[in-house]
Structure 1
Amino acid sequence: MTATVGGAPRQRRAPGERSRARVLDQAARLATIEGLEGLSVGRLAKATRMPKSSVYVLFGSKEELQLATVDAARTSFLEEVVQPALGTGQPGLARLRALCEGYLSYVERRVFPGGCFFVAASAELGARPGRLRDRVATYQQQWRDLLQAQAQAGVDAGELRTSCDPAQLAFELGAILAGTDIISVLHDDQGAVERARRAIGDRLARERRDNS
């Protein structure tokens, strides 16, 4: 998931934009528990105490509501995890660590009640072709690409071994992070986050250039 850090100050939202943001915030939260298929105009109207007609006008169809919910969850992920990490140090190992820690904090704080939105959505949509699955897959690929890019930067900067495979390292770190989310939510096991921190620390230590 790529992002631009900084930028112009946010403009004050119009009433329609505020209503849309309010619905999408609730939709993303509900989707981590009830699934994207569980979203409906009626369900969100009840959750936000808005008229059904008002919610329908904002999105027009269930699929557009679902797609907008995925986009809103991505914006949240960028703000919570990606942008703070990209503001840490130079590209490479420091940012790679910050991305992993940001994700673990995101899970630990339960930004969404059902854990990572994209882990839940991937499990729900993985075998279902269509625009919704493609949108989630695109954002998941961007996240993996970001981890890989920072691993590559670490190799280029001489922080990681020249024999380090950035794609493999990104895959392993991503698997640890996603697995931690699943265990933390399914078993209500906050200890999983600390075990993940140790696992990531050990994995990165094995790739450090000064250990060669």
Structure 2
Amino acid sequence: MADERTTPRRRTPRSDGIRTRQAILDEAARLATVEGLEGLSLARLAERVGMSKSGLFAHFGSKEELQLATVERATAIFTEDVFEPAAEAPNGLERLQALLESFLSYVEVAVFPGGCFFASAVAELDTRSGPVRDRALGVVADWMSALEGAVRDAQAEGLIDPGVEPAQLVFELDAYALLGNGQFVASGSKEALDRARRAIANRLDAVRVARSL
């Protein structure tokens, strides 16, 4: 049996250390939507959060580790702000509407100054390989899967035309949302998001099954 005096113990992170790490990652995610994940360096982030580079290095041992942790933090925020509000919707159609509205609201309240974190990350990393790109693309795939699942549920519930191809409908709805995101970030005008909302509503009206009275 190992001598307890010489056996290293795993240190439990202190709550203040966890809060510090989260605050750093919140700033990293905001910075990444403006300057890009590739522009996210320990030195640049240390400057923004008022820490020494060596102090920041204690939290993240490399640039890639910082990037991956930033993506994970952005994922947690996206889950809380977009996925979770739609989870209790009573049917597939309302869940689909709630997901899209939550996305537009997440953009509108400027959670990140560069708009949707993942729209920004994927546009930057789309031609590059590696774990950071793969993780960001995984979140986008989860988003598309959630939308498509809601469409399929709505079709099974008799709320959306069963002849509609779910993947095509989701492609169109996501395109409206992403265009709203991009134009809002570029112009600062909420008119772009209002147009996205109207386009989404019109498209859903076109595929909604008419309910007889």
In the superposition, the TM-score normalised over structure 2's length comes to 0.90
Deviation per CA, 1:124-148: give whole Å up to 9, x if none: 0001111111111111011000000
| 1:65 equivalent in alignment to 2:79 | no
Distance 2:127 2:14 in 1: 37
5 Å-filtered alignment, 1:141-156, equals 141-156=141-156
Distance 1:66 1:127 in 2: 17
Residue 193 of structure 2: aligned partner: 193
Distance 2:199 2:189 in 1: 16
Amino acid at match of 1:108: E
5 Å-filtered alignment, 1:28-107, equals 28-87=29-88, 89-107=89-107
Amino acid at match of 1:52: K
Residue 181 of structure 2: aligned partner: 181
Q: Which stretch of the first structure deviates more once superposed, 154-163 or 183-192?
A: 183-192
- Deviation of 1:118 after TM superposition, in Å, equals 0.6
Distance 2:61 2:135 in 1: 19
Distance 2:163 2:201 in 1: 18
Residue 113 of structure 2: aligned partner: 113
Distance 2:91 2:137 in 1: 25
Any idea what SS the aligned residue of 2:90 has? Answer: coil
Distance 1:206 1:13 in 2: 53
Q: Which stretch of the first structure deviates more once superposed, 137-146 or 185-194?
A: 185-194
- Identity across matched positions, percent: 47
Amino acid at match of 1:30: L
- Deviation of 1:178 after TM superposition, in Å, equals 1.1
Residue 131 of structure 1: aligned partner: 131
Change (3 A) 1:176 1:41: same
Distance 1:99 1:21 in 2: 25
Change (3 A) 1:193 1:13: farther
Distance 1:38 1:102 in 2: 28
Residue 170 of structure 1: aligned partner: 170
Amino acid at match of 1:209: V
Distance 2:154 2:192 in 1: 27
Q: Which has the larger radius of gyration?
A: 2
Distance 1:33 1:16 in 2: 26
Amino acid at match of 1:193: L
Instruction: Give ranges in structure 2 of 5+ residues lacking alignment.
Output: 1-12
Residue 10 of structure 2: aligned partner: none
Change (3 A) 1:90 1:52: same
- Deviation of 1:15 after TM superposition, in Å, equals 2.3
- Deviation of 1:187 after TM superposition, in Å, equals 2.4
- Computed over aligned residues only, the root mean square deviation of the Cα atoms, in angstroms, reads 1.6
- Report the count of equivalent residues: 200
Residue 16 of structure 2: aligned partner: 15
Amino acid at match of 2:157: A
Deviation per CA, 1:151-175: give whole Å up to 9, x if none: 0000011111111211111111111
